[in-house]
Amino acid sequence: MALTAKPPKNLTETPSGFFVYGLILKEKDYRKIAELLSPFSDEVICTNPPSTRCLEAVELKRAFMRYNKNVITRESPIEAIKIALKMGQSLKLLRYAN
């Protein structure tokens, strides 16, 4: 999959809400993913999905922190989604597959 600077059509032009992100495979260009998605979110929650092939949430957080200072990690995807909803934010993207 080639990454481009053009955002997906389903994102709004104004950054708002949370990204809840998990299941990025270790061999994917997660730094580029963070660079491309960060402008479209106020906050990012990185989570650890149940797979040994996936990048750890703390490593993903480091990548997002280069572009967005509002990044946290949570152990489980369920916990991450609950936090976003509890804060009354709209979830702009739920991504659990590549």
- pLDDT tens by residue, the chain, 98 residues: 344 444 445 544 545 566 677 768 888 899 998 998 888 778 888 988 888 888 999 999 999 999 999 999 999 888 988 887 887 655 554 444 34
- Are 98 and 23 in contact by the 8 Å Cβ rule? The answer is yes
Q: Which residue has the tokens 């989604």?
A: 81
- What is the pLDDT, as a whole number, of residue 38? 86
- What is the pLDDT, as a whole number, of residue 88? 67
- Are 75 and 1 in contact by the 8 Å Cβ rule? The answer is no
Q: Which fold has domain 18-95?
A: Protein-Tyrosine Phosphatase; Chain A (3.90.190)
Pairing type for strands 18-21 and 43-47 reads parallel
Please state whether the predicted TM-score (pTM) of the whole model is above 0.85: no
- Are 80 and 22 in contact by the 8 Å Cβ rule? The answer is yes
E-only strand ranges, 24-86? 43-47, 71-74
